[in-house]
A and B are shown apart, each in its own frame.
Chain A
Amino acid sequence: MNDLGRKLAKIAFEERKADYLLAARDESGNVAPAFVSKGEDVGDVRMDVPYQLVMVLTKLYPWIGKGKIAVVARRCDEKALNELTKRGIFDAERIVKVGLACSKEQIAKCRCDDPVPSKVDFGEPQKGAASDELAGKLLKMTGEERLKFWVRQFRKCNKCFGCTTNCPVCFCDHACVLEERELVAEKSIPPGLAFHLVRSFHMADKCIECGECERSCPADIPLLTLRKLVKKDMKELYNYAPGNEKAISPLLTTLEGDKLEDDSNVC
């Protein structure tokens, strides 16, 4: 266990009273996700976390009956946790966050404009990156040019579902509608354009822009740019950005913004 490991173990197990810890560490010549129990050797921890640890947790969580779990969480992980807790995927009391402020390189790689978690335990807070340069270019294009750009990109899609499997807030997993035949007409690869439109719509009130979809795409399709374009739309339409545990999605409230069902009509 390296120094980072010792410091992390102290914070997670002693300070935050967690029973388990999810972090990233060196293992057999690679960087691996690691889920350790209290008292276990945490190993050579790394804080340049290449994984979306919340996604790793979503797959494990149903099988971990009880106990408090500490997660090394960057700002995007924190926002992902909020979106998932809001939807009952996690129960909040069982998750403890260990805040990690992202480095300059990580911010540049993710083109992230919101890199500092609410509580920082590791890393120095840095300024967010400027806007997505490709998004800017796309917005200046005409409709035809934009369509040509995206059709050429989506034609490379090999339907590996990396963008959905690795996305922390994309939790339909075993029953993802994109795997059904009806909405996306295709008998071979690449899938029809509807695949990416439907996914954009599903992500509109959930995506926390961690960029994992773009990083997991073998065809290098600029999916994070597409997410940022949709985020701009949601901001302009409803002044709403996902990631806040309290805020209900505008797609689930009335025009006045209150709850959809009114009690007067319970019969």
Chain B
Amino acid sequence: MSVKHVLTTCPYCGCGCNFYLQVVDGRLVGVIPCKTDVIGQGRLCIKGYNAHAFVQHPDRLTHPLVRDGSQMRKASWDEALDRVVSEIKRISSKYGPDSVAVFSSAKFTNEENYLVQKLARVAIGTNNIDHCARLCHASTVAGLVYSFGSGAMTNSIPEFEDADCLLVTGSNTLETHPMIGARMVRAIDRGAKAIVVDPRETPLSRIAHISLHQRPGTDIAWIDGIARIIITENLYDKEFVETRTAKFEELKSAVEEYTPERVEAISGIPKDKLVEVARLYARSKKAMIAYAMGVTQHSNGTEIVRSLANLAMLCGHIGKESSGVNPLRGQNNVQGSCDAGALPNYYPGYQSVAAPEMKAKFEKAWNKQLPEKPGVTLTEAFELAAKGQIKAIISFGENAMVSDPDITHVEKGIRNLEFFAAADIFNTETTKFAHVILPAACYAEKDGTFTCTDRKVRRVRKAVDAPGEAWPDWKIACELGKRFGAPGFDFSSPAQVMDEFASVAPIYAGISFDRLEKEILTWPCTAKDQPGARILHVGGFKMGRGAFAPVKHADPAEMPSAEYPMILSTGRNLFQYHTGTMTRKSPKLEREAPVPYVEMNDADARRMKVAEGDRVRVSSKRGNITLVARVTRNIMPGVLFIPFHYAEAAANMLTNPALDPIAKIPEYKVCAAKVEKA
């Protein structure tokens, strides 16, 4: 009788809560929240309590599968891996290495991301390595690197509790980051003033001090409006602006036109409310900005992120306790996968591919000649596949057929590939197209580290064996690397991989598995005897002066029209997670929100004679889906909201693939659509 309580990190969102998996003779029986965990403090959200439910599900992939004509048949690891290597080698030599793209996953551990990007760059010789951060905080990285020099969250999760003012926009925090939401709730209980700006009424906005609703796609207007009020009413921190920032004059002139009246005209936010918010934010001692997909997933996402950075720098609310700009990372390790270099334009540790000295450094470290220019992004890859420029894709844990915009187009791209390999824990809408499917171990079946949204590196420990012959992804990447004949892929444990990663990435230099056994480490952690920086930009920006961004409002790529009069926005709910691969196989989660739905305003519904629970057809230029109408007062008139978890009515059949020019992130939050009774 072996009974274990294994301390690990939650596989779902970026909060990084720790809990114990209860294992009796290799069977997962329950989850116990870790009482002394710095983030969870003995508490979890509904997904945390059910994080064990999908692990030993009968549908788990257990054996490698290879396509034989139209059928998939079981194969040995040797046959499957050799098939991948030979196909990639054939295509790479025929069309060049850049005709191959590799996708890593934000669900992977840091070690696995590091190995997969090394597989692309060292084994295959291409910088075409990306992952789903492209779809979430790519615009944050591009935005905040310009403003502050670093794209990461500036403060730590516990600090939300002590803030006096919380400016939350584009984040339904209590549903997407419940335990960060809980900290905000505690702050509100202590009297902090919470301001929520969101086209929908959310569980957080219902208990906030001020709840404003802006028309989707008009964020820069009201943010610039606030900046203008802060400047014109002299509420800004002159000393901070003069000593720590640059381009203040350009900002001042850029925001001039966004008078409260104009902001109200563009965004619908009442002018007196805008003034109240500006004064409240500026006058608070400790003000935290928190944002997520509602800000980043726009065709001008990068600029919206920079406009938020402007506010913080104007008031000096940056680099201090409970003051800063906090992008809330959605995935459990989207932060770590960016840190580990699974990006087309960055080596591990945000060291730019374009910088020759960096290329030289990694060529020496990995003793292999590396490809020149930065690679293509995830979103562009499917475009290029459809055009025939990308011929092969290896996808680790991505379910593009549900998570990427304009799915019909994505499908065209995948079908056009000569070779498509996928590694995952379940069969998904995407693995259907794969020539080779590799069974992978999930978080409960492997060791490694996740980096949560506030840059803490958190241990993941193996609780049970993987089903059948499934391997942990770090082992798959190593085996592939060796079979490509590339140097530096014979690791015997994730700890060794972390040591190599730490040796090449200064921000992870001090991090190692044995230190993590005893203490909490936050990157940047540049030495073995330091805990790492809990707060960024204290006393100064790494790059010297923070840069104001003179950005202006621009309409979304696709505006409502006569034929498509409504604005459609997509996103998540509390109970499901992303494409539902794990949550839809957890009974108590699936039961809470089993059916796809569209939220629509009750006045719109009455006008269209749609009642609660009716089946309606929502269509955009790119397609249409049929689902249940949820009539509510909690959404602005003229706006629809569809969660994208449900493949049977995939929201991304409708979304607009238009990309942010800098970050290449799709505009999930705004597209034109119409509703009819089905």
On whether A and B touch (CB less than 8 Å), the answer reads yes
User: Can you list, as one digit per residue, whether each of B166-184 has a CB less than 8 Å from chain A (1) or not (0)?
Assistant: 0000000011001101100
Cβ-based interface call for A136 (8 A): no
Contact of B186 among A30, A162, A216, A220 (CB under 8 A): A220
User: Can you list, as one digit per residue, whether each of B1-42 has a CB less than 8 Å from chain A (1) or not (0)?
Assistant: 101010100000000001010101101011011111100001
With known contacts A63-B24, A218-B178, A155–B592 Cβ distance under 8 A: no
With known contacts A30-B36, A50-B36, A219-B182, A64–B1 Cβ distance under 8 A: yes
> By the criterion CB–CB under 8 Å, are B22 and A217 in contact?
no
Chain A positions 134-164 with a Cβ under 8 Å from a chain B Cβ? 155-156, 158-162
Cβ-based interface call for B280 (8 A): no
Contact of A29 among B178, B179, B203, B519 (CB under 8 A): B519
With known contacts A218-B178, A218-B185, A33–B5 Cβ distance under 8 A: yes
Interface residues of B, dominant DSSP: mixed
Contact of B574 among A37, A179, A189 (CB under 8 A): A189
Which residues of chain A are within 8 angstroms of B181 by Cβ–Cβ distance?
158, 218
Select from chain B the residue with minimum beta-carbon distance to A189.
Answer: B203
Stretch of B43-51, B105-113, B269-277, B374-382 contacting A (4+ beta carbons < 8 Å): B43-51
B3, B18, B49, B573 pick with most chain A CB within 10 angstroms: B3
> By the criterion CB–CB under 8 Å, are B174 and A160 in contact?
no
**Complex Cα spacing A150 to B46, Å:** 22
Cβ-based interface call for A196 (8 A): no
Which residues of chain A are within 8 angstroms of B186 by Cβ–Cβ distance?
220
Which residues of chain A are within 8 angstroms of B459 by Cβ–Cβ distance?
28
**Complex Cα spacing A107 to B7, Å:** 28
Which residues of chain B are within 8 angstroms of A188 by Cβ–Cβ distance?
203, 573, 632, 634
A-B contacts, CB under 8 A, total: 122
Which residues of chain B are within 8 angstroms of A56 by Cβ–Cβ distance?
22, 32
> By the criterion CB–CB under 8 Å, are B1 and A158 in contact?
no
Select from chain B the residue with minimum beta-carbon distance to A159.
Answer: B46
How far apart are B41's CB and chain A's nearest CB, in angstroms?
Answer: 9
Cβ-based interface call for A257 (8 A): no
> By the criterion CB–CB under 8 Å, are A156 and B179 in contact?
no
> By the criterion CB–CB under 8 Å, are B22 and A59 in contact?
yes
**Complex Cα spacing A62 to B520, Å:** 35
> By the criterion CB–CB under 8 Å, are A179 and B588 in contact?
yes
Select from chain B the residue with minimum beta-carbon distance to A50.
Answer: B35
Cβ-based interface call for A190 (8 A): yes
Select from chain A the residue with minimum beta-carbon distance to B588.
Answer: A179
Cβ-based interface call for A27 (8 A): yes
Which residues of chain B are within 8 angstroms of A31 by Cβ–Cβ distance?
35-36
Contact of A32 among B34, B573, B634 (CB under 8 A): B34
**Complex Cα spacing A225 to B48, Å:** 26
> By the criterion CB–CB under 8 Å, are B5 and A64 in contact?
no
> By the criterion CB–CB under 8 Å, are B592 and A30 in contact?
no
Which residues of chain A are within 8 angstroms of B7 by Cβ–Cβ distance?
27-28, 30, 32
With known contacts A29-B519, A155-B207, A158-B182, A50–B25 Cβ distance under 8 A: no
> By the criterion CB–CB under 8 Å, are B185 and A67 in contact?
no
Cβ-based interface call for B648 (8 A): no
Q: A189-B174, A218-B178 are in contact. List 19 more A-B contacts (CB 8 A).
A: A27-B5, A28-B518, A30-B18, A35-B5, A37-B1, A37-B3, A50-B35, A51-B32, A51-B35, A56-B22, A62-B29, A63-B24, A63-B25, A158-B45, A158-B574, A160-B43, A188-B634, A189-B574, A217-B43
- List A residues at the B interface (Cβ < 8 Å): 20, 27-35, 37, 50-51, 56, 59-60, 62-65, 67, 155-156, 158-162, 165-166, 174, 179, 187-190, 215-220
Can you list 26 pairs linking A and B with CB atoms under 8 Å apart? A27-B5, A28-B7, A30-B18, A32-B20, A32-B34, A33-B5, A33-B20, A34-B5, A35-B3, A50-B35, A50-B36, A56-B32, A59-B30, A59-B32, A60-B29, A62-B29, A63-B25, A67-B1, A155-B206, A156-B185, A158-B45, A160-B43, A161-B49, A162-B33, A179-B588, A220-B189
